[in-house]
Amino acid sequence: MTPNLTRRNFLKESLAATAVGTLALNARAEDAAKNSEPAKTPAAFPTGKIGDLQISRILLGGNLLTHFTHSRDLKYVYSLTAHYNTEAKILETLAIAEANGINTLSMHNPPEPMAILKKYRKQGGKIQWIICPTAPVEGDMKTYTEQVKELVDCGCEAIYLWGVRSDPLAAGGKMDLIAKAVEIAKEHGVPSGVGCHDLNVVAQCEKSKIPADFYIKTFHHHHYPSGPKPEQLVAAHAENPGYWCKDPQGTIDLMKTVTKPWLAFKIMAAGAIPPKDALPYAFNNGADHCLVGMFDFEIAEDAALARAAIANVKRERPWRS
């Protein structure tokens, strides 16, 4: 060490430099949040309708916004996503989505991401919300009804039953509770759908004539390096090997008979299938809309790929929205 640089002085200067760096990062984050107002004239994007709700053919998926990445056994990815997708970055992501013509997002309703959506609305953001309450679906449905009311009061444009709830309900023959969940959202004046991983949910809803306005159903092929082998396809979905659509062909075949709009999600198998492959596969095989989880830097390219897939679509199932 030089005479003027004692260990104590070195530590003090290092800590000071760290503090200055942290303040600079915080200032940049605040600037990003202030500058994240959506574009005034978003690019036109193909749309469809659910009831009176006009929604873009691709929606901003919610898992990257809520930091639930389905990253299989790569546990660090959850933390990495949370550190990258700060409040300021999420606000910026929403603005970029709107600037690229994506007018709707879909996610569940954890408090912190919901607070960010509300903040974006206050800043003038127009992106629409299709949200699934996470409240239990049981008994008198009191908590579920309270969550639906709260979401609608906050401006949520459509509600759907969370697949985490619908899968076991349908498996247990509790279609009356699925029907109640659908009716509760309708009673609050918004389009009401059913989400699921298990194809049996759609089959049973159709058989029971559940008056859902739309379905949100997983859909992807298995032709990716980490895709499941036939003997590994036990449950409707699994984190390892990572798959969320057990029967792609069965999904294609059943949805051909369904006249309600179909919003496909997990089309990239949580990042294992490139969007250049996933988007044409979903649209060509009958999906009316796709939920696409995207970081901010992926949105423009994915939106362009979606436009191309729609422009060149070859599908047997008619557009249902």
Number of domains into which the chain is organized: 1
Domain membership of residue 217 (yes or no) is yes
Domain membership of residue 57 (yes or no) is yes
Domain membership of residue 269 (yes or no) is yes
pLDDT at 80: 84
CA distances in angstroms from 183 to 125, 137, 161, 301, listed in the order given: 29, 12, 11, 38
C-alpha 1/C-alpha 207 separation (Å) is 80
pLDDT band at 107 (very low <50, low <70, confident <90, very high): very high
pLDDT at 43: 60
Domain membership of residue 30 (yes or no) is no
Render pLDDT for 151-190 as a digit per residue (tens, 0 to 9): 999 999 999 999 999 999 999 999 999 999 999 999 999 9
Mean pLDDT over 90-118 rounds to 96
Domain membership of residue 162 (yes or no) is yes
C-alpha 132/C-alpha 212 separation (Å) is 14
pTM (predicted TM-score): 0.86
Domain membership of residue 320 (yes or no) is no
Render pLDDT for 44-73 as a digit per residue (tens, 0 to 9): 799 999 999 999 999 999 877 876 777 777
Domain membership of residue 156 (yes or no) is yes
Render pLDDT for 108-153 as a digit per residue (tens, 0 to 9): 999 999 999 999 999 999 999 999 999 999 999 999 999 999 999 9
pLDDT at residue 79 greater than cutoff 70: yes
CATH number of the CATH domain containing 141:
3.20.20.70
Average pLDDT, the chain: 89
Render pLDDT for 196-213 as a digit per residue (tens, 0 to 9): 999 999 999 999 999 999
- Give the 3-state secondary structure of the chain: CCCCCCHHHHHHHHHHHHHHHHHHHHHHHHHHHHCCCCCCCCCCCCEEEECCEEEECEEEECHHHHCCCCCCCCCHHHHHHHHHCCHHHHHHHHHHHHHCCCCEEEEECCHHHHHHHHHHHHCCCCCEEEEECCCCCCCCCHHHHHHHHHHHHCCCCEEEECHHHHHHHHHCCCHHHHHHHHHHHHHCCCCEEEEECCHHHHHHHHHCCCCCCEEEEECCCCCCCCCCCHHHCCCCCEECCEECCCCHHHHHHHHHCCCCCEEEECCCCCCCCCHHHHHHHHHHCCCCEEEECCCHHHHHHHHHHHHHHHHCCCCCCCCCC
pLDDT at residue 14 greater than cutoff 80: no
Residue 101: domain span: 36-311
pLDDT at 37: 52
Domain membership of residue 280 (yes or no) is yes
pLDDT at residue 293 greater than cutoff 70: yes
| Residue of 13 and 86 predicted with greater confidence | 86
